[in-house]
Structure 1
Amino acid sequence: MNLLKCKNFIIISTFNVRTLNTINQIPELIANSINWKIDVVCIQEHRKFHEANELEYKDAGKGWTLITSSATKNDINATIGGVGLLLSPRAIKSLNKIEKINSRIIIANFNGNPETTIISCYSPTNVADEDLVTQFYIELSSLVRDVPKHNLLLIGGDFNAQIGMENNKTFSFHDQTNRNGELFREFAVENRLLVLNTKFQKRMGKLWTFQYANGRKAQLDYLLINHKWKNSCLNCEAYNSFASVISDHRIVSSRIRLSLRANNKKLDNPPPYYWKSLIHDGNNLVRFTIELRNRFDALHDESVIDNPDTTYENFVKAHWEAASNCILLKPKKRKRVPWETQAIQDQRERIKRSATRKNGNPTPQNISKFNREKYKLTRLYQIELETYLQTKIDSIKQYSVNKQSSMVWDTINEISGRKRISQAKLKATSQNDRLNQWKNHFKNLLGNIPNITNVETIELFPAQTESNIKIGPFNDEELNKALTKMKNGKSPGLDGIPPEVWKTKHFNNVLLKWCNEVYEQRPIHYWTRGCILPFPKKKEILERPKTTEE
């Protein structure tokens, strides 16, 4: 299944956000990315510190995922730096692996033909120690050389480098090259990389990416691509459209034509039917029971071989056909996104207009007005968050009065983010490599069949008293006792039949027959198979999974 076809475009960007620790920046980053149809954003200077110093996966809302490596602490214990990737829902489906190289570089591989490699990086400033900058480019060059030559390689980052024009062959914002610019240019030439910012002829207003406090502008952020795929890039320029994120940098976006391919699912997940309707809706229960019974009887009459395996397969088939006609799908739980209000959307547009005036004419009046608009946006987010939390608190109180403890904890977990499904997986070079690692793990865990020889025979003495264990076929009383102990809402087996179907007790006659036939050594293959869902421990969680079947 192709996520993108060659006829379609994908937009990849790089953005120094300055920080993502305020209440409004991540929502604004996602809202603008959706508006401009961006799929991948290379993030610099997010300033989010992780105690574990590992990659952190954050559900950023609307299906977007923010993956960040930890920022660092300076001498005064202030958080600085940090790089990451913001991935759209369709980009995350194509993600194969992601790895942190150091605090300034991360690399991600995406499935496709060709495979796509994206590097997000953040270079030391032009006034930093030269050895530090040189070491950064040594590590980055070593990483680039390890990327397969056939891969489409894209590098996005804040390189703190100014490139001057070279005999009018490049379209740069600056006339002269600074120290970081020389190292940056040498890195690009050595690794046969094309600087996309300087490939297309643009007016000066489309080239600068950073504005100093005094109003002076510079071009510091760049996107690079390997020469082999330079014709895949159709455009690259800087935009003012992310002004509501509140950064002194501008986003640099490039339109790429390539093919990203999502991982093939090995199993088709069954539709999410709302099985609890069999408990709450008596009419639906009668309709489903009649439909299932009629379909099963029709299939059973056509069976040539009367054995439990065949009849059970017919029952499973009839079950799914009846469910598709009688059972409704589960209602989708749409999380209310606290930041999507009309007031916030209007304020976002006002900030963009104010930022355009400030960038074009940085007078004290325009700067002051832009700062006021920023404060208004932050305040709107705070008000909306307070309203959202108060609504949840009121619902918790109501659930508590109604003695719905499960709903209380579901709401608490939704607010706090507790018990969130892990979004990471075992590190590996490919899907097959990952499966082989799990195979070897379980092989070592379970071990081989022991080879026992020369064992003395131990005489077993009969029990002194007779045990009170019933033997022989099962009866209706035992079956009803077992069904009563079953809990609703539990996951079904590989046959997909949930407990709610059996607990109707309308199919006790066939179920009791199958249980007794299995007891008599006539197996049903659905009852002899299991499914292992491996969950790696925290220290092994390095990459995001594509499907739960892994």
Structure 2
Amino acid sequence: MGRPDFRGPRDWKLGTWNCRSLNFDGSDRILSNELRVRGLEVVALQEVCWTGKDHREYGDYTMYWSGGNTRELGTAFIVLGEMSKRVIGWWPVNDRMCRLRIKGRFFNLSIINVHSPHMGSDADDKDAFYELLDREYRKCPKHDVKIVIGDLNAQVGQEEEFRPVIGRFSAHQQTNENGLRLIDFATSRNMAIRSTFFQHTSLYKYTWRSPNDTETQIDHVLIDGRHFSDIIDVRTYRGADIDSDHYLVVAKLRQRLSEVNKIRYRRPQRYNLERLKDPEVATQSARELEAALPDEGELAEASLEACW
């Protein structure tokens, strides 16, 4: 019945990947192998093309998916290794959105996996998507580290007027219409589009290859401003292959995570209050309590931090 064992800060990898279907034989095994060799622990997936909403354990990884009635779209999380034991909540929303909660030491993490409508979609569909995203964001506990990650179908530029919501190292110079919607959402929720803050070559910024072989950055990682510095890098990994036109995007985080597999229930200490009815016991307890408390002079001289 020892105390919960919490490790100090450590780096871990959170990814996002539009995999363009996991509907072929062995797809989940191929996917998990690609992620495992790169040290990924949690990955948000888009276009898995699975129906329904469920979760299932497969050996050393767990899949949580949120699909529709047909084998189109569909979002999911794959959680690998020991990180599976830190999952404390899972909420399927629809085929474009789902949410996962992970146990931390000081702050838990709420991660929203999203797949935004593309540029040519109806404005009403885009409005409905961001209204739903805002509702899901507001459901996240107040003190959680809040991350929005996925295929946002949005090009974000380098315009100074949008800083500090965006950084100086986006792959693009100008923000497109979908990018403006993303910036509006991030601004309203005091978030930063962290995928635009790290200086890499274009090779490690572009996230999608179009049919005519032009490349763009449309998959992003956002984090709430209070925990801005928790993400220490974002880049793409081109070697990962699951027959998709999107590249794997990886965010490296530095946080304190709980070793939840070592946490045990500790029964609260029970006190025999009946003994306080004995005058001698009550007097002795009062003396011990008085001796343990600092006097008024010590409190007056102590700093607020020391008193706390």
Q: TM-score range by the shorter chain?
A: 0.7 to 0.9
User: How many Å apart are 1:89 and its aligned residue?
Assistant: 2.5
CA distance in structure 2 between the partners assigned to 1:219 and 1:25 by the alignment: 25
The AA in structure 1 aligned to 2:109 is T
Deviations 1:86-144 (A, max 9, x none): 00131110111111222211111122221111111111111110111111111111221
Alignment match, 1:98:
90
Question: Residue 165 of structure 1: which of 127, 147, 158 is its match?
Answer: 158
Deviations 1:420-457 (A, max 9, x none): xxxxxxxxxxxxxxxxxxxxxxxxxxxxxxxxxxxxxx
Q: Does 1:148 align with 2:161?
A: no
CA distance in structure 2 between the partners assigned to 1:25 and 1:192 by the alignment: 37
The AA in structure 2 aligned to 1:32 is E
Q: Does 1:87 align with 2:93?
A: no
Question: Residue 136 of structure 1: which of 97, 119, 129 is its match?
Answer: 129
Question: Residue 207 of structure 1: which of 201, 205, 208 is its match?
Answer: 205
CA distance in structure 2 between the partners assigned to 1:3 and 1:131 by the alignment: 49
Q: Does 1:230 align with 2:228?
A: yes
Alignment match, 1:44:
46
Tell me how many residue pairs correspond in the alignment.
256
User: How many Å apart are 1:37 and its aligned residue?
Assistant: 1.1
The AA in structure 1 aligned to 2:85 is K
The AA in structure 2 aligned to 1:21 is N
Identity of aligned residues (%): 25
SS at 1:140 equivalent: helix
CA distance in structure 2 between the partners assigned to 1:66 and 1:105 by the alignment: 15
Question: Relative to total residues, which structure has the larger strand share, 1 or 2?
Answer: 2
1:85-484 pair list within 5 angstroms? 85-112=77-104, 113-167=106-160, 169-243=167-241, 245-261=242-258, 262=260, 264-266=263-265
SS at 1:80 equivalent: coil
How large is the RMSD of aligned CA atoms in angstroms? 1.9
CA distance in structure 2 between the partners assigned to 1:153 and 1:173 by the alignment: 24
Q: Contact 2:22 / 2:28 at 8 angstroms: preserved in 1?
A: yes
Alignment match, 2:37:
35
Gaps of 5+ in 1: 74-78, 268-550
- When the two structures are superposed, what TM-score results if normalisation uses the length of structure 1? 0.45
1:488-507 pair list within 5 angstroms? none
Question: Residue 64 of structure 2: which of 64, 67, 84 is its match?
Answer: 67
Deviations 1:365-397 (A, max 9, x none): xxxxxxxxxxxxxxxxxxxxxxxxxxxxxxxxx
Deviations 1:204-252 (A, max 9, x none): 1111000011111111111111111111111111111312x11110011
Q: Contact 1:5 / 1:258 at 8 angstroms: preserved in 2?
A: no
The AA in structure 1 aligned to 2:96 is R
The AA in structure 1 aligned to 2:112 is I
User: How many Å apart are 1:43 and its aligned residue?
Assistant: 0.7
SS at 2:211 equivalent: coil
Alignment match, 1:5:
7
CA distance in structure 2 between the partners assigned to 1:181 and 1:146 by the alignment: 24
User: How many Å apart are 1:154 and its aligned residue?
Assistant: 1.4
Q: Contact 1:211 / 1:217 at 8 angstroms: preserved in 2?
A: yes
Gaps of 5+ in 2: 267-308
The AA in structure 1 aligned to 2:225 is H
CA distance in structure 1 between the partners assigned to 2:5 and 2:179 by the alignment: 37
The AA in structure 1 aligned to 2:113 is S
Question: Relative to total residues, which structure has the larger helix share, 1 or 2?
Answer: 1
Q: Contact 2:171 / 2:202 at 8 angstroms: preserved in 1?
A: yes
SS at 2:146 equivalent: strand
Q: Contact 1:72 / 1:103 at 8 angstroms: preserved in 2?
A: no
Q: Contact 1:121 / 1:156 at 8 angstroms: preserved in 2?
A: yes
Higher RCO (CA-CA < 8 Å; seq separation 6+): 2
Change (3 A) 1:21 1:4: farther
Structure 1 runs (4+) greater than 3 angstroms displaced: 1-4
CA distance in structure 2 between the partners assigned to 1:44 and 1:6 by the alignment: 32
The AA in structure 2 aligned to 1:220 is I
CA distance in structure 2 between the partners assigned to 1:34 and 1:4 by the alignment: 24
CA distance in structure 2 between the partners assigned to 1:241 and 1:218 by the alignment: 17
1:491-530 pair list within 5 angstroms? none
Deviations 1:163-206 (A, max 9, x none): 12213952111222222111011111111111121011111111
Alignment match, 1:360:
none
Q: Contact 2:113 / 2:150 at 8 angstroms: preserved in 1?
A: yes
CA distance in structure 1 between the partners assigned to 2:64 and 2:5 by the alignment: 20
SS at 2:255 equivalent: coil
- When the two structures are superposed, what TM-score results if normalisation uses the length of structure 2? 0.78
SS at 1:228 equivalent: helix
